[in-house]
Amino acid sequence: MKFNYITIDGVIGAGKTTLAKMIAEKYNGSILLEEVEENPFLSDFYRDPKHFAFSTQLFFLLSRYRQQQSILQPDLFHSLLVSDYLFAKDKIFAYLNLEDRELLLYEKIMSLLERDIVKPDLVIYLKSSPDRLMINIKKRGRAFEKDMSKEYIESLNTAYNRFFNHYKETPLLTINSTKLDFVCNSEDFEIILKMIENKNAA
């Protein structure tokens, strides 16, 4: 495989972390996972988005930036790195959740940080329906996600689709995973692997 760095992204509940682990295992790669549960503001945000949006956003931005700096250190034992988030997608949440004054400050910070970010060789966007996303979220039963509304997921899904419909920074593979069960169905996982290998050969 000529890809050294693959990033998987999608709306909450799309299965990006699970798929990232499966791909890393398949190709004997290393993995970089977003530290979602480390954000101390997240449960408050889902309960009261207006008051906790900026602190939640800023924590995620700085956490993601710190993680991304580790990519600059080469892994001597693996030729492939798989991540379950794209740094640039941070803006999706910012524009969806922040007020105008907060957004101005966010943009100033983001413009300084994104200069140092390594771009992936391939971005995989796991596209899904809001209904399927809500089923997946409920199934995994994370305490901090229990107050998440379907309306929020629908708005997030629309924002993700808009973002990736205009995304041109790196090669992009969009996979509609609404009807795929790549965890329990090996044939579905093979379909995804075939799509990746076709991109790799292009």
The reported pLDDT for the residue numbered 75 is 64
In the chain, count of helices (H) and strands (E)? 8, 5
* Residue 57 near residue 98, CB atoms below 8 Å: yes
* Residue 120 near residue 5, CB atoms below 8 Å: yes
Distance of CA 22 to the CA centre of its chain: 15
**Residue ranges of domains in the chain:** 5-201
The reported pLDDT for the residue numbered 84 is 96
The reported pLDDT for the residue numbered 201 is 85
* Residue 15 near residue 126, CB atoms below 8 Å: yes
- Residues serving a catalytic function are 84
Q: Which of 119, 40, 111 is nearest to 72 (CA)?
A: 119
The reported pLDDT for the residue numbered 37 is 78
CATH for 5-201 is: 3.40.50.300
The reported pLDDT for the residue numbered 1 is 73
Strand partners, 9: 125
The reported pLDDT for the residue numbered 166 is 94
- By residue count, the chain amounts to 202
Torsion over CA: 65, 114, 28, 18 (sign)? positive
The reported pLDDT for the residue numbered 51 is 93
Which residue ranges of the chain lie beneath pLDDT 50? none
Q: What six digits make up the tokens of 122? A: 């391939």
| Element containing residue 101 per DSSP (H, E) | helix 100-113
